[in-house]
Structure 1
């Protein structure tokens, strides 16, 4: 079951060890049947694992349908490993411990969409893993299979590692494209979408690190095998980043559709100091809070959506009784405010104002009108920015107000 984190694939930059462990078979299958790659992913039901959950095959098909743009370098493929949101740490594990399954997945993507430019876009804060990534890329450059990929793509394949700006907003796909081009990571309006106009104006495929890692195994074992790994209607496995008030925080690869209760109390071994469960920030701090009533929800895209939340990156930040939701909300909104690129006034000013009011309420220096102001901002801010940053701040604010309003009221009475 543990496909991505199995010890047999934690071989670092050693490409020979990766092939000895069965690596390369997915790419061989892709080269044997390039036209079948996208339909294979469609049959597998793979969705983007960076947060949005968009069907992977649709994005790949859109890029494959575009002609290359020679003046933009042909076609680009960007593997997004910016990962800078609190509570999310799956991509850094994959890139540092098992980079070859990610690179192989990217090469399969290149074959599918005929991309000749491949960029590993990684968080600049993770400087320690950069030498290993460069070594892994060098190993592929020197391997004969890369020439076969180039032959199928129809152009020499260029592999590069692109450190990001280190900013959270740089993970948004249009901001990532801007950053790969050496510019400030300003998100841009869509359309046009990256599939039509991405890096240097060329058609660009952009997926998350974990998504490409799954591709490798789907091509190797087939879509039926992948679907059987999930629970119920969910497919495959998922890396859940578990943190917060749990006894055993860490990265857990489990079947997609595992319940929140199982993740927290079996794999996370329960709440610290024997306390009771209070809530969890699902998919990182930019989604709706879930409480004890939702402990049996399945952790997959559709089940969480039906519950009014999102799977996001799979990060689960657990809060136990005794930990203030108001304090955590203030902390996370402060993060969003500090990471706004400043391009959209509603985001730059709105998140800053929300952060100031939350700090004032927590300090006992607020009035009832401040609570009304927060409610208005939670209603007005969503959809007002070019990217999802302001939406995330508004979502966690609105959720905390709805679910833990008593904490706000108590702080106002002090």
Structure 2
């Protein structure tokens, strides 16, 4: 299900039929390609325009897009790489598969504009192979772009041939972490690496590498076409643009929704999602996927933008919102998520691999009513010992959701102990 609310002009989901699927001709007929043409006319102004628009990374961290681009552009030499990260594999997140499967050309055009801005002649569409519709659509779209005059114009501007390619990821959750993306594109196992150096300085085979999420790149052609002021005006308050929200869990109408950045959590759940299933009361929401702090009933008024959600002690993340109603067990949901993290750990950092496994074992014991107070205390101790012990954020994400649930819903854990 895809929809928009609040009279926001949708650019990605409720697109006319001519934009849906893998038709480059349809995309261009509907105004696609305008952004790339304008970028070719004013290459030096691209990064400044992205800065004025206030576009931020929409794959999780919310890092200012122009700063990433400027870092890669500042690196010397013509051999650079742009990667569109479409590895999406986190529970509750399903925005990128829709973007890549339904409107791949706007994402590819955004990646080509990024390549022009930073001076890269290799563009990699890195897509989770489990997203079969997205893989097929992007593969066909790449073939059409390779034969089009716009790519030839880009090659002229960059002074050499541009390699535009589809590269299936490993299909593993950890494969979406940016240094793991680099390792995978190099042909190796997606082991995360310590930073620095960051990919902007040393990425694929040591080359400066720009990595952006598919949703981030999908916005770029529209910013080039309509301008920075237009994009900023789509958001509310100080927030710029719109955001895709993957709404799931105990709501009447789960689906993918595009809202102004800064719309409230209540609007998403009750206006878009139709409220709670079976008339139950709202209890909590896992924000930005299962690796962030939970929000509860007192947070329904929060504006869904990076700063406002952070001020409530959580993160906007990917925009996934997994809603939980009264009557649903928080310890059970947390157990399921930690088991996912334990399965997804790559294993190169023993504290992460063994720590997530031990956490999952203890939580399952609590969830099934077989745990003692000593087990719960061990969970608390692990939450204090494990953060920062891995090369990437997987272990930190697992600890964050456990610690948050213990802080806000600790009584539920207590009641599930033997004799509780």
Fold shared per TM-score above 0.5: yes
Q: How does 1:331-350 map to 2 (within 5 A)?
A: 331-350=336-355
Deviations 1:323-370 (A, max 9, x none): 100000000000000000001111001111000000011111111011
- 8 A contact 1:114–1:152 mirrored in 2: no
Q: Counterpart of 1:19?
A: 28
Q: Counterpart of 2:3?
A: none
Q: How does 1:177-192 map to 2 (within 5 A)?
A: 177-192=182-197
The answer on 1:330 being equivalent to 2:338 is: no
1:147 Cα deviation after fit: 1.0
Q: 1:10 aligns with which of 19, 24, 35?
A: 19
What's the TM-score, normalizing by structure 1?
0.98
Worse overlay, 156-165 or 130-139: 130-139
Q: How does 1:49-128 map to 2 (within 5 A)?
A: 49-68=58-77, 74-128=79-133
The answer on 1:291 being equivalent to 2:299 is: no
Does the residue aligned with 2:416 lie in a helix, a strand or coil? Answer: helix
Aligned length, in residue pairs:
410
Q: Counterpart of 1:307?
A: 312
Q: Distance in 2 between matches of 1:132 and 1:380?
A: 44
- 8 A contact 1:68–1:203 mirrored in 2: no
Deviations 1:276-310 (A, max 9, x none): 00000000000000000000000110000111000
Q: 2:254 aligns with which of 249, 253, 264?
A: 249
- 8 A contact 1:304–1:311 mirrored in 2: yes
Q: Distance in 2 between matches of 1:132 and 1:208?
A: 17
Q: Distance in 2 between matches of 1:154 and 1:324?
A: 59
The answer on 1:131 being equivalent to 2:130 is: no
Does the residue aligned with 1:83 lie in a helix, a strand or coil? Answer: coil
Deviations 1:360-392 (A, max 9, x none): 111111110111111111112111111010010
Does the residue aligned with 1:404 lie in a helix, a strand or coil? Answer: helix
The answer on 1:161 being equivalent to 2:166 is: yes
1:135 Cα deviation after fit: 1.0
Deviations 1:213-245 (A, max 9, x none): 011111110000000000111110000000000
Q: Counterpart of 1:31?
A: 40
Q: 2:157 aligns with which of 152, 155, 163?
A: 152
Does the residue aligned with 1:28 lie in a helix, a strand or coil? Answer: helix
1:151 Cα deviation after fit: 1.3
Deviations 1:156-193 (A, max 9, x none): 00011111111000000000111111110000001111
1:131 Cα deviation after fit: 2.4
Q: Distance in 1 between matches of 2:33 and 2:40?
A: 11
- 8 A contact 1:68–1:202 mirrored in 2: no
Does the residue aligned with 1:162 lie in a helix, a strand or coil? Answer: strand
Does the residue aligned with 1:7 lie in a helix, a strand or coil? Answer: coil
Q: Counterpart of 1:316?
A: 321
Please tell me the root mean square deviation across aligned C-alpha atoms, in Å: 0.9
1:62 Cα deviation after fit: 0.3
1:202 Cα deviation after fit: 0.7
Q: How does 1:400-411 map to 2 (within 5 A)?
A: 400-411=405-416
1:200 Cα deviation after fit: 1.2
Worse overlay, 4-13 or 256-265: 4-13
- 8 A contact 1:287–1:392 mirrored in 2: yes
Deviations 1:13-44 (A, max 9, x none): 10010011110011011001000000001001
Q: Distance in 2 between matches of 1:57 and 1:133?
A: 25
1:128 Cα deviation after fit: 3.5
Q: Distance in 2 between matches of 1:50 and 1:5?
A: 17
Q: Distance in 2 between matches of 1:86 and 1:322?
A: 21
Q: 2:180 aligns with which of 169, 175, 181?
A: 175
What's the TM-score, normalizing by structure 2?
0.96
- 8 A contact 1:114–1:154 mirrored in 2: no
- 8 A contact 1:280–1:317 mirrored in 2: yes
Q: How does 1:347-386 map to 2 (within 5 A)?
A: 347-386=352-391
Does the residue aligned with 1:110 lie in a helix, a strand or coil? Answer: helix
Q: Distance in 2 between matches of 1:37 and 1:346?
A: 43
Q: Counterpart of 2:49?
A: 40
Q: Distance in 2 between matches of 1:327 and 1:278?
A: 14
